[in-house]
Amino acid sequence: MDQAVTFKNNGQINVILNGQKKTYHEKISESASYEIKIPKTQPQHVILNEMEAELNTLVGMEEMKRMLKEIYAWIYINKKREEQGLKAGKQSLHMMFKGNPGTGKTTVARLIGKLFFQMNVLSKGHLIEAERADLVGEYIGHTAQKTRDLIKKSLGGILFIDEAYSLARGGEKDFGKEAIDTLVKHMEDKQHEFVLILAGYSKEMDHFLTLNPGLHSRFPLVVDFPDYSVEQLMEISKRMMIEREYTFSKEAEWKLRDHLNMIKTNMAPAKFSNGRYVRNVIEKSIRSQAMRLLTSDQYQRDDLMTIKSQDLIIKE
C-alpha cells in the first residue's frame, strides 16, 4: 500500500501522495488524526514484461518472439473490447512448429503454456509431450481411444506432438490416419479447451498438411524455427556454461567454434541437432574435465570452473 502524508486545514483533508496534492472536502474533527491508504496501482502488462524477460533468455527465434507478442496483444485487446461491451471473437490457437531438431520447439511450447495460463486462455497451462507411439494403437479402434485419452489429459493445457508427420507414414491403411482424423475432430469440438502443437521437419510437415483436407485450415499459427548460426550456437554454449558455473579457456572456445564451423559446413542440416548438440558437447566435456581433475588431484576454484581444450570431446 502507498501511504499518504496527511494534514488538516480549514475543515478539509489534504493528501500528498507521491508529490501530488489532493483535497477531500469532508466534515472532520479538528482533534482527529487521519491516515489515508491508497492501493498501489499495478504496472501495466506485467505478464508481457515477464514473458519478454523469458524470451530474452532464448537465442534467436525472432519470428516466434514476434508471434507471441501479437498473441498477447490480441488477447489483451479482446478483454478491453469485452469491457466496452464490444464483441470479442475467439480464435483458434492451434499451432504448427517447423524446424530441425534442437531449435527450441519444446522450450517454446512450454513457455506458451505458461503465458496462456497467466492470461486465462488455458485453465492449467501444462504441457503433454507425445509422439506416434503414444497415439497409434495396434488394432482397429485402439488408436482413436488412445488419442482421445491423450487429448483428455491435455485439456486445460497444450498437447505437443513431435515428429507429427510420422502419423501419416504408413499410408491409407495405417492406423496413424485414424489418429489424424481423431485429432482433427477434437481440434474443432474442443478448440478453446486445449492447444494442439504439431512439430517436425519443415519439408515433412508441409507434406503432412496435404494428407487431410481439414488440417491446413486448423493451424492458423505456423512458426518456422531456423537453424542456429555458429555465432548463435556459441552464445547458447556460453549461456549454458554460465548456468552451470563453468567457463571456457580461450583455446577451448576457439576449438569449439572451429568445430561448429566445420560441422555446419559438412553435415546435412536435418542431421544436426543445433542447441541439443551443443548441450551434449558441454555435458561430455564437463565429465571429461572431472576425470582430468581427479587424475591430477587439482581442486582450486579456477580448476573446477575451467573447461580446457583437451576436455572438449568432439569428433573432428
Write out pLDDT tens, residues 117-174.
988 889 999 999 999 888 887 777 788 899 999 999 999 999 999 988 888 776 556 6
Q: How many CB atoms are closer than 10 A to CB 30?
A: 6
What pLDDT was estimated at residue 1?
44
Phi and psi at residue 139, to the nearest 5°: -150, 170
Instruction: Reduce the DSSP state of residue 304 to 3 states and report it.
Output: helix
Phi and psi at residue 99, to the nearest 5°: 170, 170
Nearest to 75 by CA among 122, 124, 123, 121: 121
Distance CA 265, CA 176 (A): 36
Distance CA 47, CA 95 (A): 21
Residue with cell 559446413: 265
Amino acid at 107: T
Q: Categorize the per-residue pLDDT at 246 as very low, low, confident or very high, splitting at 50, 70 and 90.
A: very high
Distance CA 13, CA 7 (A): 6
pLDDT at 223 over 50: yes
Give the architecture (CATH level 2) of 46-225. 3-Layer(aba) Sandwich (3.40)
Please indicate, yes or no, whether the overall pTM of this predicted structure exceeds 0.85: no
Which of the 8 DSSP states describes residue 58?
Answer: S
Nearest to 310 by CA among 285, 287, 277, 290: 285
Distance CA 64, CA 91 (A): 18
Asked if 212 and 184 touch (Cβ cutoff 8 Å), the reply is: yes
Which set of grid coordinates corresponds to residue 285?
A: 566435456
Which set of grid coordinates corresponds to residue 30?
A: 479538528
Distance CA 210, CA 256 (A): 41
| Mean of per-residue pLDDT scores for the chain | 83
Q: For a pLDDT cut of 70, what percent of the chain falls above it? A: 84
In this structure, the dihedral spanned by the alpha carbons of residues 241, 107, 154 and 125, taken in order and rounded to 10 degrees, is 90
Q: Where in the chain are all domains bearing CATH 1.10.8.60?
A: 230-311
What average pLDDT does range 192-206 have in this prediction? 90
Q: Give per-residue pLDDT as tens, 79-88.
A: 889 888 898 7
Q: Categorize the per-residue pLDDT at 24 as very low, low, confident or very high, splitting at 50, 70 and 90.
A: low
| CB neighbour list of residue 35: distance below 8 Å, 6 or more residues apart | 3, 4, 6
Which set of grid coordinates corresponds to residue 41?
A: 496501482
What average pLDDT does range 56-76 have in this prediction? 87
What average pLDDT does range 224-236 have in this prediction? 93
Distance CA 114, CA 172 (A): 37
Q: Of all residues in the chain, what percent are helix, strand and coil, respectively (each to 5)?
A: 50, 15, 35
- CATH class of this structure's domain 230-311: mainly alpha
pLDDT at 106 over 60: yes
pLDDT at 3 over 50: no
Ordered DSSP codes for 130-141: E-HHHH--SSTT
Q: Where in the chain are all domains bearing CATH 3.40.50.300?
A: 46-225
